[in-house]
Structure 1
């Protein structure tokens, strides 16, 4: 039976507010910044070797903070390289925010931006319709494979665009994540089937079956969900909306479901308590696919 709960994706304004609350309560961006500073230059060393120009695609780039940090780190190590950067983002507000960020950030004259307000599947369809032959050096898809119909097919398409020594980067929840346990336990009540509940293990199994080369990097993220347990707390309710991808979860969920979800979120398998805070285990993995041929 279809869930009576409305998807968070049906209200773009509420989605953005809840997404912003998630970013404020999670250390994921800090860990990504550490990865960009300490790991990414070595990962891209063969990709940039001997190049004066790179083609880059960001899929589901949001408002662009991580994208610009990656490109800035790349430029710092390789100031002679110019970049064509294609940005694929469905949400018009986030795409507008990315444009604004670019306009306010000095020193980006080495990058030429191309903007696509569309889904990954629409971008793929357009690319094939135009019979594009351009090869790409770097493609990144951070926390966006939950929003495609077939994550494996999406990975395969974008991997096929890679130039020799190109890299495809993506992040997903790991099997050990408390958030993943929430989705797995209540898959029929939350997410409204609009979320592809895929994990890094699923994709790595696909890559192994195809004999593709890749590396995995653990991102031991946490989300401060303390406010979720204060009845009526607006920040907590926004965060619960994002965790469940249910619009106004606290007000619309049946009492039994809400009780089960809150108990699961606080269970030691999903979270830990420290210094009066409840921290949800949000273990992720960043996977890098190498294109050697």
Structure 2
């Protein structure tokens, strides 16, 4: 596709939040994650590992990276509280708006989160690292927060740094969209060549980076999908917002020339990206939970 100059969703925080909220509602995002956090997989891979290595320690230090509005983090904290009644929870996110939402959510769940103290840091992970805090954590959660790594070296650097902040015996959870789901095939197929600020990072990239770094992990594949039929209805506000999310563009229908719109929509509707069922058009959003358990006795980093 020919290069186009279109307004970037990544540079418009207000529209991004509107679009993201629409996506979360249409995809049932938080319900899917809640179900996984409530599952035996999370209990065994995260809570069980921490319980086995911390030898009865009650206090837990937790780092949330790019935690956003906090729905997933709060679900994780509630599970951890069942075994660790005191949790120091540090949250690193560059968005003042999303941190505000997280704070409000934590306040509304004060009863469920009794025992959790929060330390809010409005920073990118690079800014947090540069600040030089040497605190180590028993659990680090990075949920859909590595998409902005703009190169293989940057991804390696982020993972190396976060692993160095993990206590021996600690657990890191990274959740990312898979490299072969319909959403990724859509992005790869049109290559978003009309975006000069986009670098797609998937769980496959994370796993490859961990392999290069010699960091062991366990992978849990989780299916998820979203009905995108409204994207093909020009009159649908929800559909247009979802299309903005999928193309990382502010008001894609208004900003993109007709020929580009046609090519993008044809690709999105193709069997390579989506699956039709009557009037429904389903886009797979499958994701991987990559769990890293740092061995006990490893040399200090």
Residue 147 of structure 1 aligns to a residue whose secondary structure is coil
110, 124, 139: which is aligned to 2:115? 110
What corresponds to 1:168 in structure 2?
172
1:2 offset after TM fit, Å? 6.4
1:86-165 equivalences under 5 Å are: 86-107=90-111, 108-126=113-131, 128=132, 132-149=133-150, 150-165=154-169
Work out the CA distance in 2 between the residues paired with 1:157 and 1:3. 36
212, 216, 220: which is aligned to 1:213? 216
What corresponds to 2:282 in structure 1?
279
Report the TM-score, using the length of structure 1 for normalisation. 0.92
> Which deviates more, 102-111 or 11-20?
102-111
Work out the CA distance in 2 between the residues paired with 1:162 and 1:255. 49
Root mean square deviation, CA, Å? 1.7
What corresponds to 1:20 in structure 2?
21
Contact 1:223–1:279 at 8 Å: present in 2 too? yes
1:185-224 equivalences under 5 Å are: 185-190=189-194, 192-224=195-227
Contact 1:57–1:85 at 8 Å: present in 2 too? yes
1:288 offset after TM fit, Å? 0.8
Report the TM-score, using the length of structure 2 for normalisation. 0.90
What corresponds to 1:257 in structure 2?
260
> Which deviates more, 42-51 or 157-166?
42-51
May I ask how many residue pairs the two structures share in their alignment? 286
> Which deviates more, 199-208 or 26-35?
26-35
1:188 offset after TM fit, Å? 4.5
1:133 offset after TM fit, Å? 3.0
1:275 offset after TM fit, Å? 4.3
Work out the CA distance in 2 between the residues paired with 1:136 and 1:275. 49
Point out where structure 2 has 5 or more consecutive residues left out of the alignment: none
> Which deviates more, 161-170 or 28-37?
28-37
Deviations, residues 193-244 of structure 1 (Å, cap 9, x unaligned)? 4333112122212212222110111111112211100013111111111111
Work out the CA distance in 1 between the residues paired with 2:185 and 2:103. 36
What corresponds to 1:66 in structure 2?
72
Work out the CA distance in 1 between the residues paired with 2:142 and 2:278. 34
Work out the CA distance in 1 between the residues paired with 2:38 and 2:222. 14
Work out the CA distance in 2 between the residues paired with 1:195 and 1:55. 33
Work out the CA distance in 1 between the residues paired with 2:26 and 2:209. 32
Contact 1:147–1:194 at 8 Å: present in 2 too? no
Work out the CA distance in 1 between the residues paired with 2:123 and 2:136. 20
